[in-house]
Amino acid sequence: MAGLRTVAAIVLTLVTLALLHTGVTLMVAGAMAAMVATFAIREKEVRGQAITLALGLPIALAAMTLAALLHTSIIAGDVFFVALIFGAVYARRFGDRGMALGLIGFQVYFVSLFVHATVPTLPELYLTLAVAFVCSAVVRFAVVPETPEGTLRRLREAFRARLAQLVATHVELVDAGPKQLDGVLDDLRRHTARLHEAALMIQGRLEEGTRDAAVAGLLQRRVADAEIAAERLGVMLLNARSAERTDTLTLHLPDAPVPAMMNRVQAEGDAVGTLRRDLEALHLLVARAPGDRGTGLAHVRNRLLGYRDEDNLPPGTPAVQDAFRGLGEAARAVLGLRLALDGPQDESDDSPATTRSREEFDAEDLAIVGAEESADSEDDRTGLQRPTTRAACQVAVGSALAIVGGEFLSTQRWYWAVLTCWVVFLNTASTGEILVKGYRRLLGTVLGVVAGVALAGLVGNHTWSAFFLVLLCVFGMFFTAPLSYALMSFFVTAMLGLLYTLLNTYSLATLVLRIEETALGAACGIIAAVVVLPVHTDRRTDEHLGTVLVRLREVVSAAVEQLSGGPAVDLLSRARDLDTALDDLRGSTQPLMHPITPLRGRRQTARYLVALLDTCAYHARSLAATAELVPFSKTVAADPRLERAGLRIACNIDLIVARVADEPAEGEVESGASIASMLDADDSPALRSGTVTFRVLRHLQRLDEGVVGIARSLDVPVTGRSGSRNSPVAAEIP
């Protein structure tokens, strides 16, 4: 959508300027200004977008004016450019608006250098900028509108599509032989991760995309239920086809071993046919259109929901019956998602199991209230320790170096080095991230130069053909930006080759100079990041790791307390805070896991650690979703015995957090006795597979194992304890 919006703004600007009979140079300036005015604004509310766009025009005019006035004053122009860069980066501390206005100021100043703005050309440039901003506003608010409600609506449909993809992969998993298993597992991991990403994107848009807090809370709950049920179904299917228990880590780590290569579920006879049929039926329920009705679909839904009752489970091994239970829970989650997204449905063909599920949803709907808005915590760091201040100082120093070095390479194109130094600092926060981003930009630039040479020779003197290819490059730049920074840089450089052609300044030497300036700018950025107030990757990773562990402890402790009969709290919001912190950690570890890193051991450790945390987050989300049923469900009751089971996990996490933060801590991480064995001391009947307490213990057991694995990965002392290792309850936990 960002690519379409930007391309449309550029097209409208070019058409308008062409009707005004402006020259090619002004058309190039207008196209670049329209692109900046469109992509710089990232606010979610329409009113905020309008205000930022209105403020951006005078800033753009001021930047263009100062660039033209300082055109002949080299030293003064360079000093102002560095000051502008510092201010643009420092403005990021004021949120999306500050970042957008700073970006507009910098980019328009860069455009003025690119088209060689002078005082006599200012009136025409003012008109060009005004046209570009007006066209950007028309496209943004009328042609390709971006509203929070519309974005959330598209995300909801995307989540439904991702869920259908994952269920289709579940069908493939049942039939996959030993040779196909690795490929299917890769698909399973990828689709599970993408479903999780879609759920997080919905979470980020709920507040602005829904007017009613209760509706937002309901949608959040239903999306979380569907995500958790789908991921749990994948784990149960892996267990059903394996000779022994499959660790949940298999869904998050490509190198995780698969216990059995043969497909044991194929030996179940009629059960495997029923399982395949019902998985396809579940896919039908997920993928059907919102208004689709019919007795056939109702029959399928009723059959799947019937698996929530023990009496309706087909005969088979315990693992296969678990898979059918997972099908029933997934069908329930899909029904809840349909009710939340599409509204009330026809209930005339409901079976008793379906009626019970609807009654549960009604009870939950009455209990769900909008979560109170929590005030964002202020960053308690001040002065040079504030991230925006540090980044501004680093970029200013790096840009000054790039200006000096760029002047030696070319007195006309030195600003390319400054641009590279600027962009490698955007959305980066550590030395390692800047190094990787600089490498990717250089790689994309080299490949883009080759493409630029080919495209320039292809278009020749055909102006509109060149503009058409520029539009394709702009769309490719936005479309590939979330996927690969190298690809985005490739499209940027190819576009510049076409713009040079339009300005009649194209030459092979110019594009080669582009590579040299890019390498210089990346080097200056890296030097500034290393020398000026450096933030080492290890330090940043440790900060995010500590945050993830704290969030994990909060979710697990609160969920276990509620499952034990404690007061109800907003667990799903806490679980999403954990997911957000985990995403931040994943981003900070990218330099450690990049293929060019020479530290292979650290790369393997980082990958394993993130996979363990992904696994722990899955089990924490599952605990939170189950715990939120306790206050109003007829089938999920609190169990006071569970309180003791969560204490060891919380204590172990506290010890790891202290170790990561280099704080003194007494004791060692405890392992050995299973979580389930803690219930053996009570004179209570044995737990049956499929009960809620059994499921909770399974998640706690996996959490305990994951936390111990994290401790071992971080060299935190671990002690074992014997005595209850062979607990009969523990033996039942798959």
- For the stretch 545-567, pLDDT in tens is 999 999 999 999 998 888 888 78
Give the DSSP H or E segment for 436.
helix 431-459
For the ranges 29-33, 71-75, 653-657, the lowest mean pLDDT is seen at 71-75
Mean pLDDT of 639-668: 82
Ranking 35-39, 125-129, 351-355 by mean pLDDT, the lowest is: 351-355
332 pLDDT higher than 60: yes
Q: Is 612 helix (H, G, I), strand (E, B) or coil?
A: helix
Q: Is 349 exposed, middle or buried (0-12, 13-18, 19+ CB in 10 A)?
A: middle
Among 80-89, 388-397, 633-642, 700-709, where is mean pLDDT lowest?
Answer: 633-642
Average pLDDT over residues 452-480: 86
Sequence-distant (6+) residues with CB within 8 A of 18 are 27
Whole-number pLDDT of residue 290: 58
Question: What pLDDT, on a 0 to 100 scale, did the predictor assign at position 362?
Answer: 73
Model confidence at 191, in pLDDT bands (50, 70, 90)?
very high
What backbone phi and psi angles, to 5 degrees, belong to 719?
Answer: -120, 145
Residue 10 has pLDDT above 50, yes or no: yes
Q: Of 226-240, 495-509, 643-657, 683-697, which gets the smallest average pLDDT?
A: 683-697
The structure tokens 């994309």 sit at 444
Return the pLDDT at 604: 79
In degrees, rounded to 5, the angle at the alpha carbon of residue 415 between the alpha carbons of residues 409 and 419 is 120
Residue type at 235?
A: V
Mean pLDDT of 617-636: 76
* Alpha helix segments (H runs only) across 210-317: 213-241, 270-287, 295-305
Output the pLDDT for position 374: 39
- Give residue 506's pLDDT: 67
Contacts of 457 (CB under 8 A, 6+ apart): none
Per-residue confidence (pLDDT) for residue 122, from 0 to 100: 94
Give the burial class of 712: count Cβ atoms within 10 A of its Cβ; 0-12 exposed, 13-18 middle, 19 or more buried.
Answer: middle
Q: Given this model, what pLDDT does residue 123 score?
A: 94
pLDDT recorded at residue 378: 41
Model pLDDT, residue 270 = 65
Q: What is the percentage of the chain residues whose pLDDT exceeds 70?
A: 83
Is a pLDDT exceeding 70 seen at residue 597?
no
Q: Is the pLDDT of residue 226 over 50?
A: yes
Query: Region 285-312: what's the mean pLDDT?
Result: 75
The rounded mean pLDDT for the chain is: 81
Q: Specify the pLDDT at position 268.
A: 55
The confidence band for 732, taking pLDDT boundaries of 50, 70 and 90, is: very low
Q: Are 209 and 151 in contact (CB under 8 A)?
A: yes
C-alpha span between 35 and 45 (Å, rounded): 20
Of residues 448 and 568, more confidently modeled: 448
Say what percent of the chain tops pLDDT 90.
Answer: 18
Q: What band does 676 get if pLDDT is binned at 50, 70 and 90?
A: low
Record the pTM: 0.75
Sign of CA dihedral 566, 568, 572, 575: negative
Band of pLDDT at residue 26, cut at 50, 70 and 90: very high
Task: Provide the pairing of β-strand 718-720 with 669-671.
Answer: parallel
Q: Within 13 Å of residue 156, how many CA atoms lie on the same side as its CB?
A: 22
The pLDDT assigned to 489 comes to 87
715-722 long-range contacts (CB < 8 A, ≥24 apart) are 716/655, 716/656, 716/659, 716/668, 716/669, 717/668, 717/669, 718/668, 718/669, 718/670, 718/671, 719/668, 719/669, 719/670, 719/671, 719/672, 720/671, 720/672, 721/670, 721/671, 721/672, 721/673, 722/672, 722/673
> Mind listing the pLDDT tens digit for each residue in 279-298?
998 988 888 765 555 556 78
Whether 72 contacts 30, CB under 8 Å:
no
299-302: list long-range contacts, CB under 8 Å, 24+ apart: 299/349, 301/331, 301/335, 301/354, 302/349, 302/350, 302/351, 302/353, 302/354
Place of tokens 């969560």: 646
Instruction: List the single range of 235-244, 273-282, 654-663 with lowest mean pLDDT.
Output: 235-244
> Residue 371 — pLDDT band, cuts 50, 70, 90?
very low
Asked which of 614-623, 630-639, 691-700, 705-714 is least confident by mean pLDDT, the reply is 630-639
Q: What is the pLDDT of residue 715?
A: 85
Lowest mean pLDDT among 304-308, 549-553, 693-697: 693-697
| Residue 16 pLDDT greater than 90, yes or no | yes
